[in-house]
Amino acid sequence: MARYIGKRLIYMFITLALIATFTFFLMKILPGSPIASADKLSPEQRAVVEARYGLDQPLPVQYFDYMFGLLKGDLGISINQFKGANVTDVILSRMGPSAQIGFQGMLLGTVLGILFGMVAALRQNTWVDYGSTIVAIIGISIPSFVFASMLQYWFGLKWDLFPVALWKDGFMSSVLPSIALAMFPLATAARFIRTEMIEVLGSDYITLAKAKGASGSEIAFKHAFRNALIPLITVLGPMAVSILTGSLVVEQIFAIPGIGEQFVKSIMVNDFSIIMGTTIFFSVFLIVVILIVDILYGVIDPRIRLSGGKN
Amino acid sequence: MKNSKILWLLGLVLVLSAFLAACGGGDDTDTGTENTETEETEGAEGAEGNGGEPDSVQELNLIEGAEIPSMDSSIAEDAVAFNILNNVNEGLFRLNEENIAEPALADGEPEISEDGLTYTFKLRDANWSDGTPVTANDFVFAWQRAIDPDTGSPYGPYMMAGTVKNAKEVSEGDMEVSELGIKAEDDKTLVVELERPTPYFMSLMAFGTFYPLNEEFVTEQGDKYASNSETILYNGPFTLTNWDGTGLTWTMEKNPEYWDAETVQLEKINVDVVKETSTAVNLYQSGEKDRVGLSGEFAMQYAEDPEVVKELEPTLFYLKFNQERNGEETPLANENIRKAIATGFNKQDLVDVVLANGSLPANYLVPTEFTFNEAGEDFRDINGDMLPFNAEEAKTYWEKGLEEIGETEVTLELLGGDSELAGKMDAYLKEQLETNLEGLTVNLKAVPFGVRLELDEAQDYDMQNSGWGPDFQDPMTFIDLFVTGASHNLMSYSNEEFDNLVEQAKGELAQDAEGRWEAMAQAEKILIEEDAAIAPIYQRGLMSLQKPYVNNIISHPFGGDYSYKWAYISGKE
């Protein structure tokens, strides 16, 4: 196991270096200048500002400077969004709210989704099944900006149950955005669990368990549910990353100081160091989650072995 | 089976009703403002504030559209920062309620030498927020810092070069910063030397880049200076608080050290960044915010609302006609072709139907309600409208132009922005021009801002939908954009007479207010009416919703967008 993880860590490092390299050069091809008032400045004046941020250096020099900085954990300074601010500080200050609503949304969505999916599978082709399918379809098909706006309008403005927006009332501020984020994992989990459960419930070993006299709930939880979880975990891992690292739409609508919105904006305004910093941060997160998911497979299903049969 | 169909139907109805509810949302939002409606009728003009006695609680709740990129006055280059700087700091002059630059930190008008090149300012007694006095050296330090190439200030060189003595040389590293034309004679006397007489110099002094900085404090903070609200000193009507450097929220509090603190009535301004207009409107309706800017469809939806406030911005949008692309003359090198296009689209319909945000059709370059002479007359009154929409005339110009270039059909590319509004506007222009000018095909090219700048620089376009906002309060900020070789020209327009008039206005007429005004007006006439070098489209308007208890927020044509110094709350309780 330790050897497997060690090997994976080396691959992770190589993957990251490649991601950083690709992002760096792709980003430099982006049209436009990171100087906000570029349309007003003369070329000489622009050159002075560019020199301040080391953008006057040849590309390879900039690249190696950046990579060496990265090795030392230095993500550089923001060029135009938060001029002069340390990118690490920017990410740290923006990560909290994104992670909080992401975690809550993920938890709520997955738990409810699994519940809906299981009930639907166990009560196949009844109104319970159709009801949960409808919820799942709504969750997948309504774009999050419509859903978030609706939550805001009704629960915030009309019924005054939660804050309309802004990140000021602690947990209360996080309720509506979390629900908005929960819809997608809820729908996904419900659909996956339902399909898998139905398939598992029809398989031979369930029939055997039934024949042995195992109770209905025992079959449902111990046998069917555990096996139905595997495909769900595959999709939940990356989905967790995308939700925990922030959603542009939900953060914008609820005016939450999150990281997702920052990332998109940094690309639009060519804030190179923020683009790099957030990309690397997201990549590390994703790679780590994929590793955890791979380890979890083995825990859930011993048939899936991690280290090619040597373990 | 039947049962399940009903369930499906039920689900469908549910989904649909949810959508309909969301769509209908806008119409019945007035229920949320019931409690304010009674106050509205009390105020004479509703949205303009009721002008009554100030309340005991003086708190204003505002929304900003973006984060603060930097509060360092040498580094700032965006609307948010300049707006806050205008309220928490102060320069030698400040734009007053009538948008005239009046002495602020300067103790009265400066002494100006006969050649108009040396200004001697006396400073009034004023303090920084930590109680230390503001001295002449604070100005010297700030200006030198803004022009120093090591600082990497975008606006320092932009605002000073060609105006303040030696600014260009210093910014390019050819001279020491100490050679910049600013000296502190003593703690209270500041001497500024200029490159050339600059009649609008006072209004420049109200601009953030020229504000003083406390040398000792800034040096002591080093890289940390202005990284959050604790690491800045203030000398304006308010101080900034609760700003962590990257957050979406901050507060401005009345500054007890401000020399004119007795004029300031607001105790506190709570600002939150909200980027989504629908969210901003909801916060306004819920009563959490007192003012919200309306964009796009929201402007249209609330146009008739009694709480709407309209402002006219001095920002002008126009079509640039590129006369030479990739070394070859374009059809736009022909004057009649340009005139045909300039008069060939209906601007009134464009602002009424497509923009619908209070913008004005523009038949001019220098915006209306922007600059005024000593007698208070608008510069706009001199030339009035030039080359207005006229489909008949356009057709005549067009036929003449086609004959001159020997073509029957012309295809032109129209380069524009990639926003929804820009798309709609360019589509409208295409439709209008193709209808009114037979044989013309307009190809639209929508690109992001950065790409547009690159294409502009490479002069790789035929027509371009472009815009400009002023940097100082003088017609020159618009007019000299188009002299031969100017960095904004980039369309091979060149007219010697126009260049000469601009040169005169900047040179020998600089101290002759009337003659200078005349020269600039004549230059504008040549540019727009005689040469049709560009085709003005519209002057931008801005609509906001503002609670009737908010009074006296002053909007400015350049520099900081608003002043809250004179604002107050009345009738909220």
Measured on CA atoms in the order B92, B95, B101, B107, is the torsion positive or negative?
Answer: negative
- Inter-chain CB proximity A84 and B172 less than 8 Å: no
- Region of A31 (left: φ > 0; alpha: ψ -120 to 50; beta: rest) is beta
> How many whole angstroms separate alpha carbon B231 and alpha carbon B209?
18
What burial class does residue B206 get, using C-beta atoms within 10 Å of its C-beta: 0-12 exposed, 13-18 middle, 19+ buried? buried
Query: Higher model confidence: residue B80 or residue A203?
Result: B80
- Inter-chain CB proximity B246 and A261 less than 8 Å: no
* pLDDT computed for residue A180 by the predictor: 92
What are the tokens at A136? 């799942």
B257 touches chain A (CB under 8 A): no
* pLDDT computed for residue B32 by the predictor: 34
* pLDDT computed for residue A269 by the predictor: 84
Contact A294, A287 (CB under 8 A): no
Residues in chain A closer than 8 A to B150 (CB atoms): 52
In 3D, which of B161, B221, B164, B226 has the Cα closest to residue B190?
B164
ipTM: 0.87
Residues in chain A closer than 8 A to B4 (CB atoms): 125, 127, 130
* pLDDT computed for residue B5 by the predictor: 55
Q: Which residue has the tokens 């406030």?
A: B309
> How many whole angstroms separate alpha carbon B421 and alpha carbon B468?
17
* pLDDT computed for residue B43 by the predictor: 32
> How many whole angstroms separate alpha carbon B295 and alpha carbon B290?
17
Q: How many CA atoms lie within 13 A of A225 on its CB side?
A: 18
> How many whole angstroms separate alpha carbon A113 and alpha carbon A136?
8
- The percent of residues in chain A predicted with pLDDT above 90, rounded, is 25
Report the predicted TM-score, pTM, of the whole model to 2 decimal places: 0.86
Computed over every residue of chain A, the mean pLDDT equals: 86
A140 touches chain B (CB under 8 A): no
| B57-116 residues touching A, CB cutoff 8 A | 67, 69-70, 72, 75, 77-78
- Inter-chain CB proximity B70 and A83 less than 8 Å: yes
In 3D, which of B94, B93, B96, B64 has the Cα closest to residue B80?
B64
Residues in chain A closer than 8 A to B149 (CB atoms): 48, 51-52
- Predicted confidence (pLDDT) per residue in A250-302, tens digit: 999 999 998 888 888 888 888 899 999 999 988 888 888 888 888 887 777 77
| B158-187 residues touching A, CB cutoff 8 A | 158, 161, 171-172
* pLDDT computed for residue B48 by the predictor: 60
B467 touches chain A (CB under 8 A): no
* pLDDT computed for residue A220 by the predictor: 77
**A227-245 burial by CB neighbour count: b if 16+ within 10 A, else e?**
bbbbebbbebbebbbebbb
* pLDDT computed for residue A291 by the predictor: 85
Residues in chain A closer than 8 A to B82 (CB atoms): none
- Tens place of pLDDT per residue across chain B (573 aa): 445 555 555 555 555 454 444 443 333 333 333 333 333 333 333 346 777 889 899 999 999 999 999 999 999 988 899 999 999 999 999 999 988 899 999 999 999 999 999 999 999 999 999 999 999 999 999 999 999 998 989 899 999 988 999 999 999 889 999 999 999 999 999 999 999 999 899 999 999 999 999 999 999 999 899 999 999 999 999 999 999 998 899 999 999 999 999 999 999 999 999 999 999 999 999 999 999 999 878 888 898 899 999 999 999 999 999 999 988 999 999 999 999 999 999 999 999 988 888 899 999 999 999 998 888 889 999 999 999 999 999 999 999 999 999 999 999 999 999 888 899 999 999 999 999 999 999 999 999 888 888 899 899 999 999 999 998 899 999 999 999 988 888 999 999 999 999 999 998 898 898 999 999 999 999 999 999 999 999 999 999 999 999 999 999 988 899 999 999 999 887
Measured on CA atoms in the order B512, B515, B516, B517, is the torsion positive or negative?
Answer: positive
Residues in chain B closer than 8 A to A41 (CB atoms): 154, 157-158
- Predicted confidence (pLDDT) per residue in A86-141, tens digit: 999 989 888 889 989 999 999 999 999 988 888 888 888 888 888 888 888 888 88
> How many whole angstroms separate alpha carbon B247 and alpha carbon B137?
33
B471 touches chain A (CB under 8 A): yes
